[in-house]
Structure 1
């Protein structure tokens, strides 16, 4: 038996992709304000048992009758919806990057400062209003972990407390809230997300982890697999094309032979080589920086190493020319022998390379800008492609990112594609949640 799921703030549909990949759900409705993302959502659900209706509109502006009609058109009465899912945009809950730190390989947020009231926070309340109207058996909200500490009405953490109180007292749900790490569910990415699961049919548990940090696995945890690594995820993909869709749709022999992993085998769902394996062209100034970067290292480590290396060059040149160290450095910078960028204090993961033997850090909507995080290929002098970013998010290869409002053949606008990928819920994480909910629905 398959159950119904409707997705608001759907983006490209990573959340609902995980639900349908579980084999237990049909996506019956998708809503977003971004036309390219919603077109991608529709395209990738086109061959499902039930094709979803879509609503391109701001959730705050959609009449409930329009939602009811869209569900009825798919045979779902408003009170019969099994699951409502969504991730209200997280910009209102985010912090300045300078407060990020790395702890055990996972980004943590320190020094939380009060944010001004953000009008985007009312998107959460609009989502709850839809939930109150539809009364689904299950409700799942996904967001950044900072949401749990976000201020509301002058008190930190009050926003999540308000959401829980509304779900429990006003709507009659039992609620579980926690922070899940995507890597613990087979996603090759150390991505943490706050998850709210609300149930009208009894208590619900979070899915059990299937993977763990290999250093923590012991004979007492024999059922856990080691984290999926970057190599597991993308090592079978060839060097990409720049800016143009050349490989997409070609024969499967484009994959690199002998590099297939258990994870990449799971991802190879397409009958042809996947689309979106495209990287952008980077300025020479960016390429000069990443050429010096080693896999898995922080900016502080690499810039410190380069400063030490340059220090010896500066001292030698100063002695040879009789110039002061300061003037010698300026002259060497002018000659292109020293790159002044390494004397700057950038964000800790800026321009850094992925490590083959570890999961990636969080893939964000800015993954095509190498100065915004660890988005550089482990070996090649380039950023990751849309397809590589999608693999790191656990999108299977048959999932195509449509980067035009009107043309299903347009798959090469990297900024739009990366935005969709970075904002999505990893499908494997969503699939684990869906499987847990389906089991509860089965019992009910």
Structure 2
């Protein structure tokens, strides 16, 4: 991309690098990734060119970020501020001795407010933020828009299937520019499916792992859950099972509202939203379309847009379903990050 302008970026709340990796893939130079969790250092520094800084963004000196934004033709502040009380960031803060936010109300959005503070303090040329759709209806979002006074701003809820992510995920995306008018285009890319994404991975069994890829590992199934998944059809529900396999919750009226729990994905359709508990067959429609098991950690990561070889943990670290499931489920999908990066690059090059 010779002749293109160098966009120097900082990724706040970087997690395992979904946003950083996607922006880099698009052609943006991410100088620094910041997160409170030590576990994020390996994936950031192993897979991207960014430097990792373990820090609590709630108390981080904005001058550190301002310094990292220097040196390019254009500066970009990016991030996905956690906004639920039991998010990855909140859990990490608790482990690091930082006060956890409250269980409800305005405190749930404090880190979004903090992101706005960094906008005011560092004055980047460009800003992008990805978050959950309900944020758009919160007073803190109005405050963030006020923090962006002087910027051209556009935001919308993006259905991730329309950008080629094989997942029924919806995310609120905001972009802003001091350089001129900017907008998020309508997306209508070719739809990708579960088969397109994970169809060529080696077969493994419940509780088994691929000897060539430690993350292509599936959680164990109890005897009854093994019988249940064998009775499940792709795209079906627990109503397809014999009565003897149904759980007590299914017999209650409330159980009828959760038909996808204990479900299989469909090869030719998208995956459901990948959550922090996606490695568990009973936690949603996370059953493999064909094999009698839940999806593996590697499959979950690939459905989030990460490449097959993305390294999440050092070679000498044991695989933890709970830890990696949480980090993968909370990541910004790489495909979405790349789409955002392309918008920003095209905007800068058009000036």
TM-score range for the pair, normalised by the shorter chain length:
0.7 to 0.9
Question: Deviations along 1:356-411, whole A, 9 cap, x unmatched?
Answer: 11111100111122222111101111110111111111111231111xxxx45436
Gap change, CA 1:388 and 1:146, over 3 Å in 2: same
Aligned to 1:102: none
Is 2:286 aligned against 1:375?
yes
Deviation at 1:352, TM superposition (A): 0.8
| Whole-Å separation in 2 of the counterparts to 1:177 and 1:15 | 17
Which of 164, 182, 188 lines up with 2:160 in the alignment? 182
| Whole-Å separation in 1 of the counterparts to 2:168 and 2:245 | 34
Which of 15, 18, 24 lines up with 2:19 in the alignment? 15
Deviation at 1:92, TM superposition (A): 5.0
Question: Deviations along 1:194-240, whole A, 9 cap, x unmatched?
Answer: 011111111112144242xxxxxxxxxxxxx3x11111111101113
- Would you say the 8 A contact 2:204–2:210 is kept in 1? no
Which of 280, 292, 297 lines up with 2:231 in the alignment? 292
Aligned to 2:83: 90
- Please give the TM-score of this superposition, normalised by the length of structure 1: 0.68
Question: Deviations along 1:6-50, whole A, 9 cap, x unmatched?
Answer: 10111101011111111x2111000111211232122211xxxxx
Is 2:117 aligned against 1:129?
yes
Deviation at 1:439, TM superposition (A): 1.4
Is 2:141 aligned against 1:234?
no
Larger radius of gyration: 1
The 3-state SS of whatever aligns with 2:148 is helix
- Please give the TM-score of this superposition, normalised by the length of structure 2: 0.85
Aligned to 2:42: 39
Aligned to 1:357: 268
1:99-248 maps to which residues of 2 (within 5 A)? Answer: 116-150=104-138, 158-168=139-149, 172-211=150-189, 225=190, 227-240=191-204, 242=207, 246-248=211-213
- Would you say the 8 A contact 2:119–2:148 is kept in 1? no
Deviation at 1:144, TM superposition (A): 1.0
Q: Gapped runs of 5+ residues in structure 1?
A: 46-50, 95-114, 151-157, 212-224, 249-274, 311-336
| Whole-Å separation in 2 of the counterparts to 1:39 and 1:61 | 23
Gap change, CA 1:353 and 1:202, over 3 Å in 2: same
| Whole-Å separation in 1 of the counterparts to 2:131 and 2:166 | 19
- Would you say the 8 A contact 2:278–2:325 is kept in 1? yes
Higher mean C-alpha displacement, 185-194 vs 58-67: 58-67
| Whole-Å separation in 1 of the counterparts to 2:40 and 2:225 | 29
Aligned to 2:99: none
Gap change, CA 1:338 and 1:393, over 3 Å in 2: closer
Q: Gapped runs of 5+ residues in structure 2?
A: 88-102
| Whole-Å separation in 2 of the counterparts to 1:68 and 1:134 | 5
